[in-house]
Amino acid sequence: MIEVRELTVKFKRFVAVDDVSLSVAADETVGLVGESGSGKTTVARAIVGLQRPDSGTITLDGVRLGPVARRPKARQRAIQMVFQDPRSSLNPLMSVASIINEAWRTHPDSAPTGDRTMAVHRLLEDVGLDPSVARHRADELSGGQCQRVSIARALAVKPRLLVCDEAVSALDVSVQAQILRLLVDLRRRHRLSMLFISHDLGVVHQIADRIAVMRGGVLVEEGPATEVLGSPRHDYTRSLLDAALELNTHHGEVGK
Ligand SMILES: Nc1ncnc2c1ncn2[C@@H]1O[C@H](COP(=O)(O)OP(=O)(O)O)[C@@H](O)[C@H]1O
Ligand SMILES: [Mg+2]
């Protein structure tokens, strides 16, 4: 469905993403993992069209995607992003209902034809929130609730690919697990494709069908999750795996 081919992004002379090829099929969740600074966010920004590649292409259904401003509306809304910090990605002074309605204003072809209030309530229920949350401002919500609202806003425009960039990284471990469960549930119910980005392999392994590992801008390993986790080919993947296991032991939580 979405295909990144030989993507290179430079900041001045620094190569942040170096010849990365990566694809996400329909219904598939691909985990993109790597330590901070490895280039994951830059790949995500290129996919949503916020970062211009120095070379390489990004295609959706085989058709090339340009920068977001030049993407046809339907192709803009096909790819939605959920960010790490829900507090800074939501306007704190806007009500949850207006946040969702704004998404429909931006993409009118995804707006409900019937009662919008009811549609907002349905969306909130879909992400495990009480419909009464619609009246609240973002700054009245907890971190976990904010992240559910961000997910609802993304879903409001009926995307095909959800790019989650460290979407659970800023949350407490217990809330992190709840949001992960929600994403797993949503991908199944809405047949969503997902690019799930995290520095934490322990989190990625709970959701990804396939895992791609980046280091220093380079994709060092990629394959089915069971293979990458079960018999990592690259030393770097092995060290991420050890770090994740150690963390899980400390938190008293082991994977799946
Ligand atoms: N706008 C920018 N200008 C200059 N350097 C940047 C910019 N964005 C990212 N970088 C650099 O590119 C590298 C990759 O960053 P990023 O994609 O955010 O990595 P990750 O998401 O894996 O932590 C880092 O060294 C970062 O400092
Ligand atoms: Mg990042």
Domain stop point among 157, 183, 209: 157
Residue 83, in any domain of the structure: no
Domain match, 175 and 228 both = yes
Domain stop point among 138, 157, 176: 157
Pairing of strands 210-215, 218-224: antiparallel
Domain match, 139 and 184 both = no
Domain match, 126 and 112 both = yes
CA–CA distance, 215 with 38 (Å, rounded to integer): 5
- Cα 175 to Cα 17, 29, 142: the distances in Å are 31, 21, 10
pTM attached to this predicted model: 0.94
Minimum-distance ligand 1 atom for the alpha carbon of 217: 14
Domain match, 237 and 167 both = yes
> Nearest ligand, CA of residue 51?
1
Q: How many domains does the chain have?
A: 2
Domain match, 173 and 239 both = yes
Residue 97, in any domain of the structure: yes
The whole domain housing 201 covers 2-78+159-251
Q: Determine the distance separating the centroid of ligand 1 and the alpha carbon of 186, expressed in angstroms.
A: 30
Give 218's DSSP letter.
E
CATH number of the domain where residue 245 is located: 3.40.50.300
Averaged pLDDT in 10-residue chunks for the chain of 256 residues: 98 97 97 96 96 97 93 94 87 95 96 96 97 96 95 97 94 92 95 96 94 97 94 89 74 44
Give 13's DSSP letter.
T
Give the angle subtended at the CA of 150 by the CAs of 144 and 153, to the nearest 5°: 145
Amino acid at site 30 = V
